C-alpha cells in the first residue's frame, strides 16, 4: 500500500540441507504464497557443505533493503547462544525484522 514499496520485489528464501527438503519446502512456500495472495519469487537454497547457514543468509540477503528472519523456539538455558546467533545473523544485513509465526510456536514464549 505504501507508494515507496509498491514496486518492490519480494523474494522468499529458505535454506535447507538437501534436495528432498528443497522440493518439500518449495511446495510449502508456494502454497503459502498462493493462499496469502502476494506476488513473490521463491528461492529454496541447499546449504553448501562448506558454508554455515549464516554465511548463506549473508551471501544472499546482504544487499536486501529489508530482511525478515524467522525466530525458532529454543530450550531454556540456551538463551545466550541463541542471542549470539541472532546478533551474528543480523551483523551484515541492512534492516532486519525478526518474526515468529503461529505454527509450531503457538502458545510458547520466545
Q: pLDDT tens digits for 36-47? A: 888 899 999 999
Q: Give the span between the Cα atoms of 33 and 52, in whole angstroms.
A: 27
How many Cβ atoms are within 10 Å of 104's Cβ, its own excluded? 9
Please determine, for residue 83, whether its predicted confidence score (pLDDT) is greater than 50: yes
Q: Give the span between the Cα atoms of 107 and 73, in whole angstroms.
A: 11
| Phi, psi angles (nearest 5°) of residue 26 | -60, -45
> In which band, very low, low, confident or very high, does the pLDDT at 101 lie, cut at 50, 70 and 90?
low
Please determine, for residue 19, whether its predicted confidence score (pLDDT) is greater than 90: yes
pLDDT at position 110, please? 45
Per-domain residue ranges of the chain: 1-46, 50-110
Please determine, for residue 30, whether its predicted confidence score (pLDDT) is greater than 80: yes
Q: What percent of the chain lies above the pLDDT cut of 90?
A: 50
Q: What percent of the chain lies above the pLDDT cut of 70?
A: 91
| Phi, psi angles (nearest 5°) of residue 92 | -110, 0
Q: Give the span between the Cα atoms of 23 and 16, in whole angstroms.
A: 10
Where do we find the cell 522440493? 23
Calculate Rg over the CA atoms of the chain: 15
Amino acid at each position: 500500500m505504501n507508494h515507496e514499496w509498491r514496486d518492490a520485489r519480494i523474494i522468499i528464501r529458505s535454506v535447507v540441507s538437501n534436495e528432498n527438503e528443497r522440493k518439500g519446502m518449495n511446495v510449502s512456500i508456494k502454497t503459502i504464497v498462493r493462499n496469502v495472495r502476494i506476488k513473490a519469487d521463491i528461492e529454496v537454497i541447499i546449504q553448501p557443505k562448506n558454508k554455515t547457514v549464516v554465511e548463506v543468509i549473508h551471501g544472499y540477503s546482504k544487499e536486501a533493503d529489508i530482511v525478515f528472519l524467522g525466530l525458532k523456539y529454543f530450550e531454556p538455558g540456551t538463551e545466550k547462544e541463541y542471542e549470539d546467533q541472532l546478533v551474528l545473523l543480523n551483523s551484515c544485513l541492512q534492516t532486519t525484522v525478526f518474526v515468529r509465526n503461529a505454527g509450531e510456536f503457538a502458545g510458547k514464549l520466545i
